[in-house]
A and B are shown apart, each in its own frame.
Chain A
Amino acid sequence: MEKMKKIKRISRSSFNRLPDEIVLEILSKLTDLKTLCICRLVSRRFFFIVVKIDAISYTAPLVNPSYLDLDITGNGGFTKKLFWYFINGVFLKPLNLLCSMLTAGSNASRPPVVPIYGQSFVSALWSLMRFRGLKYLSIELPDSGHQGVDDRSLFKWMVRFGTRLESYVFLWPNSVCDSNGLHVNGNGDGVGGEEEGIALRMKKVNVGIKCVMDVLVRRRMLLGLVCNFPLLERVCITDSGKRGRVSLSGGEVGKVRDWLFSSSETPVGRMNIMDFPGSTSEYHVPILHLPVSGFVMKGITLVVVDRGNLEGGNDSFVNEDEDGFGDEMEAVYSEAVMEILKSQRGRLF
């Protein structure tokens, strides 16, 4: 009986060649870049079927992003004055540094990446370049590992951009409780609610600024992807800690692509424009009751960098960017941003 079964299986395998349709159908359900690259090795036929895949996701391995070595805060204490100086003036220095890393040796055939996430990441992106017909792409980067940040840090950021960066919002509550008073994310260590020290505030704002680096790197990466994949319809770059994401989809992708290719400049030249919004506000709110979700946040730090258009009654901001926070807490964080802007509007620190 056992033998019969074996013979049958062998005869099946020698007579039946899997049709291309089935191979493509199976492979297109794999989506993971690594698995797909292994499949490209299976045989010559597979090699040519695999590149027809149009939806891919890639999770970068854990590495320490190397740009964190840049000392962007200086050695001295991080006072409020220094903060402003930093944001509006000195900000350009690390940006230029970053810019040079992003653009080193730019040419059109280069993969749309930066060497920040390690050699393996660069190789992976090179492999990705083979999939010319790509329509849907999602990349998950490792947590940025900013100093002073751990799993219990509850911050998220949100960025809005099309052809230029419109706004950046960073929200870090010390604690978040749902309507039943239960702590979310296990952060029940009682830091929240207390009048927080200036050191803690500064630390939070500092992280908020470091996350701007994440945003810039990711946006540059994303522009590179839009430039290199002519059929791309949806692209999203997230991180393993779900801190924030940059994404483009639908008509936005087309608009950005047109913009990249529509000038006498090279697309790379356009990508490298770091046109960062100039208006920065910082808010600290000890306690916030959210009327819609019923959540309560304590010890909130909010940093808003924009073009001055978030103030003055632009309530549609959060709705327009409804996929900004990208997980189940999205609505809660968005609501908090909206509430704070509503009540604190015009009260700059």
Chain B
Amino acid sequence: MSKKTLTLMSKDKQLFNIEEHLAVQSVTIRNMVKEDGASSVIPLPRVDSETLALVIEYLNRQQAPEEDEDYVKKFVDERGEIPTLLELAQAALDLDIKKLMDAACMKVADLIKDFTLEEVREALRIENDRTPEEEKAIRDEFQWAF
């Protein structure tokens, strides 16, 4: 019996093939397969091709279960750039791959834990939506933390 292959399509319309038994580590894909057999292409409108390639690489890993924890950690460690990790975490969230999302978020947390306020904003791509007065009031409350 030949192994069944699924096709995933990234936001920028690139196609990626992956064996079904590996793809179903994603709970999202597993549910799709259960529902309609997922014979056609599965579109992932929020995941770009660069990130999807990483996810596919992760899903294709050939690790013994007992080494899996270490592998996931190393996998995200090697892609230690915050923007990449955030994309990866979001893709893992959409695809419901808990281990990968956990590891990516953990790594981001590790990287930002000693950041200043401005650095956190920049790293997590958040715009300050407060007026200077509002910010000052809150800053005063948390004076001890600075």
Contact = CB atoms under 8 A, between A and B. Distances in A.
Interface of A: 9, 12-13, 16-19, 21-23, 25-27, 29-30, 32-35, 37-47, 119-120, 123-124, 126-127
Contact of B102 (A9, A25, A33): A25
B128 A22 contact: no
Contacts of A26: 89, 105, 108-109, 112, 124
Contact of B90 (A18, A45, A119, A126): A18
B106 to A, nearest CB: 5
B87 A25 contact: no
Interface in B88-132: 89-90, 93, 101-102, 105-106, 108-110, 112-117, 120-121, 124-130
B141 interface: yes
A41 B93 CA distance: 25
Contacts of B129: 43-45
A43 B130 contact: yes
Given A12-B83, A30-B109, A30-B113, A43 B126 contact: yes
26 contacts: A16-B86, A16-B90, A17-B125, A18-B124, A18-B126, A22-B90, A22-B93, A22-B105, A25-B101, A25-B105, A26-B89, A35-B112, A35-B114, A38-B120, A38-B142, A41-B117, A41-B138, A41-B142, A42-B117, A43-B129, A43-B130, A44-B129, A44-B130, A124-B144, A127-B142, A127-B144
A329 to B, nearest CB: 29
Interface of B: 48, 83, 86-87, 89-90, 93, 101-102, 105-106, 108-110, 112-117, 120-121, 124-130, 135, 138-139, 141-146
Contact of A38 (B86, B109, B117): B117
Given A22-B89, A26-B109, A42-B120, A127 B141 contact: yes
Contacts of A32: 113
A38 B125 contact: no
A23 B83 contact: no
Nearest to A33: B145
A40 B121 CA distance: 11
Given A26-B112, A29-B105, A47-B138, 4 more contacts: A22-B105, A34-B144, A38-B145, A123-B144
A16 B125 contact: yes
Given A26-B105, A41-B117, A123 B143 contact: yes
Given A19-B90, A22-B105, A25-B102, A42 B124 contact: yes
Contacts of B130: 43-44
B83 A9 contact: yes
Contact of A19 (B93, B135, B141, B145): B93
Contacts of A12: 48, 83, 87
A322 B86 CA distance: 41
Nearest to A118: B144
B90 to A, nearest CB: 6
Contacts of A120: 144
Contacts of B120: 38-39, 42
Contacts of A39: 120
B3 to A, nearest CB: 32
A93 B128 CA distance: 53
Contacts of B86: 16, 18, 22
Contacts of B115: 38
Contacts of A45: 126, 129
Quick one: which of B106, B114, B144 has the most chain A CB within 10 A? Answer: B144
B10 to A, nearest CB: 14
Nearest to A21: B93
Given A12-B87, A16-B125, A30-B109, A40 B93 contact: no
Nearest to B142: A37
A42 B145 contact: no
A19 B121 CA distance: 15
B127 A41 contact: no
Contacts of B110: 29
B54 to A, nearest CB: 15
A43 B127 CA distance: 7
